[in-house]
Chains A and B, each alone.
Chain A
Amino acid sequence: MKKFFITLAVLFFIIVFDVLFSKIFPFYLRPNLWLVYVVFISLFLTHTEAVLIGFISGLIYDILHLTLFGTNTLLLTATGYLLGWLNKRVNETLLNVQVLSILFGFMVYNILYFLISLLLKTVSYNFIILLSFFATFIIGFLELQVLIILYRRYDLI
């Protein structure tokens, strides 16, 4: 139950910051906070939760940013599923693992996005979105640390 409310609170704050960042940054510089949250769940919680959170995050992302509905749901679910395989297989407490996980998550997300854009003509991929890596990496890393502290404080990890 505690985990449920914490997750709800985290989702709420990510929505707030995502809306704010979407107003401040252009789309190609906006950090993908949802992706980082999925990476965190994949590393620190369970594989199932990674898929579930990936799906929910994608759904909210699609609602907030009015992309082609379902694109990010598919992408984040897939990213959560793929990164979920790392669960219990790597030492998630190491900083370099966390950094590489974000990098890996970003790569997976964009590769899948590109592949989907090839498969579905309604989805278009713009390579300029790769510029958001810097923001995602810097702000995402901070977000990851905050999430770790929060979840540790409530003995959820």
Chain B
Amino acid sequence: MTIKEFFTKNKPTILFFLFVLLSLIFLSIQTITEQVHSIRVFFVYFFSVSYIPVYKIVNYPFNTFNKFLQLSYMYEENMKLKELVKKFYMDKMYYSSLVEEQHHQQLVNELSKNIGYKLYLAEVIFRDCKNWYNECVVLVKSSSTLSRDMPVIVYVEPDKFYFVGRIWTIDKNIAKILLITNPLSMLPVKIKDKPIYGVLIGESSVKLSMDYLLLEDDVRIGDVVVTSSIGNLPGGIEIGRVIDVEVSLTGFKKAVVKLNYNINALKNLIIVSF
């Protein structure tokens, strides 16, 4: 047997020993590690593009199963959170109303000092839609002594007061207001800066009629109507503006007055006490 024949016959064995020898050399020489690491990093980087879809495919059933398991906990947690949100919302509303009330109270106190009258803050708590322009119910915050016919005004920032009505009935700290637009309300008024007096009568709308004006009275469109100081009302509180003048059947002049404020948006009112 020649050497060539021997090699041909025992090729696998020779190769095996050669490779084993190489492997042992690899095992014994550890200095190659850094280079090997670099090659490995290259391979991992090269194939990293294919990770994402595979991860998605593999993780999907696990994620779905986990979500399913967490469903009951999530529902419970969701209910608790809803309750919490509801509570916080109520707290926030309460806090906002407190802040608003405080703000109005401070405002009323300041105004009270400036004007010289005692003012009480009142909040509209009810308005009947059938008597929308006739009456409203207010809650008086401070424990004040209310009495009938006390004037009720509304303050519009920065420095405007408008006459709203008078206290009609009282029950503890709840009072019903007779609005100026009520046909039962008959208020002695005058034209601002003119010695012209009349009676303002409500007509269940934003327009009122100022009656009993003398024929010689110089009433013009655009004149401002204010409260007269006749009776127990402070004078000079603005009400509205003349938009039309006509002669009534009674032989007097009659002026149509339009309110200068939005009577539909009454919320915080002020009760004036002498």
Contact = CB atoms under 8 A, between A and B. Distances in A.
Among A46, A55, A58, A65, chain B packs the most CB atoms within 10 A around the CB of A55
B141 to A, nearest CB: 70
B43 A51 contact: no
Interface in A45-71: 46-48, 50-52, 54-55, 58, 62-66, 68-71
A88 to B, nearest CB: 12
Interface stretch (B30-38, B90-98, B151-159): B30-38
Contacts of A120: 27
A153 interface: no
Interface stretch (B13-21, B75-83, B242-250, B257-265): B13-21
Contacts of B51: 20, 23
A64 B40 contact: yes
Q: Is the interface of B mostly helix, strand, loop or mixed?
A: helix
A74 B43 contact: no
B23 A70 contact: yes
A24 B33 contact: no
Nearest to A46: B12
Interface in B51-104: 51, 54-55, 58
Contact of A84 (B12, B20, B26): B12
A73 interface: yes
Contacts of A16: 47, 50
B19 A77 contact: yes
B160 interface: no
B215 interface: no
A107 to B, nearest CB: 19
Contacts of B20: 74, 77-78
B27 A23 contact: no
A102 B97 CA distance: 79
A69 B24 CA distance: 10
A15 interface: yes
Interface of A: 15-16, 19-20, 23-24, 46-48, 50-52, 54-55, 58, 62-66, 68-71, 73-74, 77-78, 81, 84, 120, 122-123
Given A16-B47, A51-B15, A81-B16, 12 more contacts: A19-B50, A20-B51, A48-B11, A65-B40, A66-B36, A69-B26, A69-B32, A73-B26, A74-B23, A77-B23, A78-B20, A84-B12
8 contacts: A19-B43, A19-B44, A20-B50, A69-B32, A71-B23, A74-B27, A81-B12, A84-B12
